[in-house]
Amino acid sequence: MDLFEHDAAVQATNDDAQTTKINTVARGYYEDPFVRYFARTGSRKSPLINRGTWVRVQAVYDSVYRFLETYRENSCRQIVSLGSGFDSLYFQLQRKGLLQEGDRFLDVDYDSVISKKVEIIRTNPELRTALRADLTQLTNACGAKTDQYILAGVDLRLVEDFKRVTEEVAGFNLKKPTLVICELVLIYMEPKYSDAVLSYLSSSFAELLLFNFEQVGPEDPFGKQMTKNIEARGSPLMGLVAYPSVRAQKERFQKFNFNAVAAMSMLEYYSKFVSASEKIRTNRLEPLDEIEEFELILEHYCTVWASRTTGDLAHIERLLPPEAG
């Protein structure tokens, strides 16, 4: 497979993710009035897929909400979503009134993905209204922006381009608290490229918090089949061999001098941080018979919270949700 085919396959994962999310929202797992504008309704997904998607979305949203709450007294909070695809997180934060005037939000993805996302926003009255500002075309990169929201195309393998987009195009302040969301993005990059991204981030931002979500556990039968299925779609998990376990993921971020790192499987996250009432609620939406398979899937995904800060090292703990009673 050549590089073009690989990139196209990785970009196609965005469409799969949005189709899955629109199904999950339609079944009532969580609210997102914007997802329907970024995805076509596809075939109905199984309760197993819907439940897993909901847990993944909850982990991301919990981290973002707690970051914003932790730094609520700061005049400028910055969020970067790497490989953002058509994700509607910025619009969700606006809808909930969680962003302040000085905050900045950067969506980063391939040029083709960003161009399509900008076009969707520009041609949809509901999204334009939710944006609360007009998009202007970027002059020094593919994409568009408002004073607060920037959508920029960049190949993350070209770390100098990513640096330019972050600091010059988006105008991020390296001294302000910054959250970087890596949701199934680093795993599709060769380690030399993903490591370069982490090295740049950890060495540049004074107050950095990072959330990473990706697959682990390729050695057992389930992991081997999972890897095979993903490779068959043309988007191999290039980082899985280098970082195959929760422990390896934790050591990965420690290697880049993150002061504090918390890493766990999504099964541990689900057990610790998803309340009994939420588990009951979602089971009423769609009873789940394949409990063992669901837990097996969650065991093969890992979430990491990493903090690189010159300030209070306890911030990493404040990014984690309170444990469910």
Chain segment 8-37, per-residue pLDDT in tens = 767 667 778 888 999 999 999 999 999 999
Tell how strand 136-137 and strand 143-145 pair up: antiparallel
pLDDT exceeding 70 applies to what percent of the chain? 90
Choice among 33-42, 71-80, 108-117 with the minimum mean pLDDT: 33-42
* 56 assigned to a ligand binding site: yes
Per-residue confidence (pLDDT) for residue 289, from 0 to 100: 87
Residue 107 predicted with pLDDT over 80: yes
How far is Cα 148 from Cα 78, in angstroms, rounded to an integer? 10
Give 208's strand partners.
Answer: 178, 308
* 233 assigned to a ligand binding site: no
Helices (H), 100-216: 111-122, 125-131, 159-164, 191-204
Q: Where are the domains of the chain?
A: 3-319
Q: Indicate the fold that domain 3-319 takes in CATH.
A: Rossmann fold (3.40.50)
* 27 assigned to a ligand binding site: no
Burial of 92 by CB count in 10 Å (0-12 exposed, 13-18 middle, 19+ buried)?
buried
CB 80 within 8 A of CB 55: no
Interval 206-246: pLDDT, tens: 999 999 999 999 999 999 999 999 988 888 999 999 999 99
pTM of the entire structure? 0.94
* 183 assigned to a ligand binding site: yes
Per-residue confidence (pLDDT) for residue 317, from 0 to 100: 65
Choice among 157-166, 261-270, 301-310 with the minimum mean pLDDT: 301-310
Q: Mean pLDDT throughout 171-191? A: 97
Per-residue confidence (pLDDT) for residue 44, from 0 to 100: 78
Which backbone phi and psi does 109 adopt, to 5 degrees?
Answer: -165, -175
Give 182's strand partners.
Answer: 82, 212
How far is Cα 175 from Cα 177, in angstroms, rounded to an integer? 7
